[in-house]
């Protein structure tokens, strides 16, 4: 599974690139979607790879649009997990 996030603006891009972004479900700057890794999706990402950020996620992640609320919650969980790991490492010294 791939989490795809639009990291560059669409203004001034070629029409073909805009159609690929729309087909992926990326509408606004910062929007994210989760898609299954397939040759079709990888071909689309080759066309717009410079406009997006691609992250591999667990296969249990549901596909489709990722809301901003879900993004905030996942970032908060990652930060909390990182601070717990630092606390445990500090206590071990």
d(CA 85, CA 91): 10
Residue burial 15-24, b: 16+ Cβ < 10 Å; e: rest: eeeeebbeeb
Q: What confidence score (pLDDT) does residue 67 get?
A: 75
d(CA 84, CA 78): 10
- Return the minimum-mean-pLDDT range out of 25-34, 59-68, 82-91: 82-91
d(CA 24, CA 45): 9
Q: Is the pLDDT of residue 87 over 80?
A: no
Domains and CATH numbers, the chain: 2-66 (3.30.1390.20)
pLDDT tens per residue, range 32-69: 999 999 999 999 999 999 999 999 988 877 777 777 78
pTM: 0.71
Residues 66-75 have a mean pLDDT of 78
């Amino acid at each position: 599974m791939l989490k795809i996030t639009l990291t560059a603006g669409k203004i001034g891009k070629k029409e073909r690139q805009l159609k690929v972004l729309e087909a992926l479900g990326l509408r606004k700057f910062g929007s994210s979607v989760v898609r299954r890794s397939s040759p079709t999706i990888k071909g689309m990402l080759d066309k717009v790879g410079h406009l997006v950020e691609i992250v591999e996620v667990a296969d249990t992640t549901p596909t489709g649009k990722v809301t901003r609320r879900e993004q905030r919650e996942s970032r908060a969980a990652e930060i909390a997990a990182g601070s717990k790991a630092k606390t445990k490492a500090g206590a071990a010294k």
